[in-house]
Chain A
Amino acid sequence: MSMGKFLVRRFLEIIVTLFIITTLIFVLFRLMPSDPAAMVISPRMTPELKEVLRHRFGLDKPLWEQYLIYINNIFHGDFGQSFYWQGENVFEILRPRILPTILLFTLGYIMAYAVGINIGRIIAWKRGGKLEYGFTVGGLFFYTMPIFWLGLLAIWIFSWKLDLFPVGGMKSPELWTMANAGLGAKILDVAYHLFLPLSVFTVWIFTGSMLLMKNSMLETLREDYITTARAKGLPEGAIRDHHAARNAMLPVVTALALNMAFSFNGGVLTETTFSWPGLGSVLVDAALNYDYPLAQGAFVILAAVVLTAVLVADILYAYLDPRIKY
């Protein structure tokens, strides 16, 4: 199979998965005991007004028709109107928030894997010692830490006490409203705001890839070609990096795709802790305001981002392992 065919097939799979997810959400909410309109229709309203509202939200139509309208709208990017931000289009609220999420998540993920793979490589090479034990327990300590709490500690130390970084947000309003602010200054400003959330996210997530890399390295080091490399008298560093680590990386990259959804949990919490204006923090606010259309829209877009990220990881894997043929 060619690369093009593979991409088309995976793209169709993503569409089908999104379709199933949205259908499940629809079924889930219609099965629930509460009236979907209860959020906007108060029991004190007159019956006539209730009817008008029901009609406006399309709740007087039969269920299958509601479903068709719902699916049709979602695939046109129309998630309806927010309950809380009266009358605002959900997609318009979400659109500016997609990029910040992708920025934070992609950078964090790349950094976490770079750090994890490198440490894993080294502690596997010096296995059985204090280094391995220390990094395993230390890494797990951060891994099992509630990421929002780690974020709060970071804000407390670095923003509150030391006053090194901003408490939250993505931009300084003064700079962005200035007419003559240059692009370089703007990028620096975002980087300045990004530093703490990115570090917290990376520290929280790197352990998974580190432990996997370590285990994979330990397996690889028993292979015959490592013995061959030793027999040839190659320097230790070359055996470790060029012979062992390269092959040991493959399962780690597979896991990269598998852990994507789990990592987004941490991403959502990081965004909320640092008031990062992404999809995660808007989803949390929507859930707290019982703004179900907005929450649903944010979730569907987040799911689309996760699925795309998994696809990118798959392509990367094929690129790294020349044995994979499509």
Chain B
Amino acid sequence: MRPVSQIEVKTKWQRRRERVGNIWMLFKQSKVGVLGIVILACFFVLAFSSMIPPMIDEMYIPLYGTDPDIIGFSQPSVRHPMGTDFMGRDLFSQLLEGAKWGLIVGITAAAASVIVGTVVGLVSGYFGGTIDTLLQRTADIVLTLPSIPLILVIGSALGRLSIWNIVILIGMLGWPGTSKVIRSQVLSLRERPFIESARISGASDGRIIFRHIAPNVLPLSFLYMTFGVTGAILTEAALSFLGLGDPSTVSWGMMLQWCFTSGYTFRAPFWLIPPGICITFLALSFYLIGIGTEQIVNPRLRER
């Protein structure tokens, strides 16, 4: 046995860094997970560079900057690498702006639904009984409702939906899946000895749920969030394309809607194809990261 003085004493931060390093080591083993990270990094670069074109010239402002020399639609040129839309707005700066909104909408909507889902799952699993039955029946009903039709009905009564309305609606409809998974984890966690000892030492229900159980289910929540981002991006794109989007934000779905309604669908490949490819790859990147994360969260998937 080594003398105590020789045992390395690690600071909190060293331990944390080591833990992150371990997670990264595991994540690296998943080829698809790494691919997802690489694609996502590219989109972050695109989103940040959306600030550049408006600084070069006012005509590159995505929503209302128009080229003084071009009145309507134009094919790609040196000044407009992807051409301009029916109002003479630069399509390339719209595409960059779309990356920004794709990330914002996807991440916030998924975060909202995962937070709701995790809290519902924790409460439902920990307390059981009537609360559990009520929450889970609600989850069952929300699960059987197709989300896009429901948002369409709400839109038909509300009139115009802002981008934040859409984020909230996606968040409010996306939680049941997460809540069911978290609940089943909590059901097994709450029988463990460490919860028992926390209870005996006088911890309140709130403290047990959020200090002792929650940290153990957070990796799972994160996993569901990555899948949730994929869903949120696709839902927002679909709503915008259908004409229920927020016309004051330039998202990729909005670009496709403008392309479709102005009648250029089959005449302007530089307008139709890039936004669709971007939606696909951004949604794909989060899904691939999810698969990579799944192998960390669920060790059974690892060795094969």
Contacts and interface: CB of A to CB of B under 8 A. Distances in A.
Contact of A291 (B149, B156, B159, B244): B156
Contacts of B157: 28-29, 32, 34, 36, 290, 292, 295
B270 interface: no
29 contacts: A17-B144, A28-B157, A32-B157, A34-B159, A144-B279, A145-B279, A146-B234, A146-B238, A147-B238, A149-B241, A149-B275, A150-B276, A152-B265, A153-B272, A153-B276, A218-B304, A260-B144, A262-B147, A264-B149, A268-B149, A268-B152, A272-B242, A280-B149, A287-B152, A292-B153, A292-B157, A296-B156, A302-B146, A310-B144
Given A264-B149, A287-B152, A287-B155, 18 more contacts: A127-B304, A137-B35, A143-B287, A150-B276, A152-B276, A258-B143, A261-B147, A262-B147, A265-B146, A268-B149, A269-B148, A269-B238, A289-B156, A290-B156, A295-B156, A299-B149, A302-B149, A306-B146
A284 interface: yes
Interface string A283-306: 110111111100110110011001
Interface residues of A, number: 59
Nearest to B173: A261
Interface string B16-45: 000000000000000110010000000000
A272 B148 CA distance: 12
Interface string B230-244: 100011011001111
A287 B156 contact: yes
Contact of A283 (B149, B266, B304): B149
B205 to A, nearest CB: 29
- 6 interchain residue pairs of minimum CB distance: A144-B283, A149-B276, A264-B146, A295-B156, A287-B152, A287-B156
Interface of B: 31-32, 35, 141, 143-150, 152-159, 230, 234-235, 237-238, 241-244, 253, 256, 260, 265-266, 272-273, 275-276, 279-280, 283-284, 287-288, 291, 301, 304
A290 B158 CA distance: 8
A287 B244 contact: yes
Given A25-B153, A136-B32, A295-B152, A149 B144 contact: no
A323 to B, nearest CB: 21
A25 B150 CA distance: 9
A152 B260 contact: yes
Main secondary structure of the interface of A (DSSP, over half): helix
Contacts of A218: 304
Contacts of A160: 266
Nearest to B157: A292
Given A144-B287, A156-B265, A160-B266, A20 B280 contact: no
B16 to A, nearest CB: 32
A144 B145 CA distance: 21
Contacts of A147: 238
Nearest to B275: A149
A267 to B, nearest CB: 8
Given A127-B304, A145-B276, A287-B152, A303 B144 contact: yes
A148 B280 contact: no
A303 B145 contact: yes
A133 interface: yes
Contacts of B156: 286-287, 289-292, 295-296
Interface in A245-285: 258, 260-262, 264-265, 268-269, 272, 280, 283-284
A265 B152 CA distance: 11
A295 B153 contact: yes
A148 B236 CA distance: 12
B276 A21 contact: no
For B149, B234, B256, the residue with the greatest tally of chain A CB atoms inside 10 Å of its CB is: B149
A29 B155 CA distance: 11
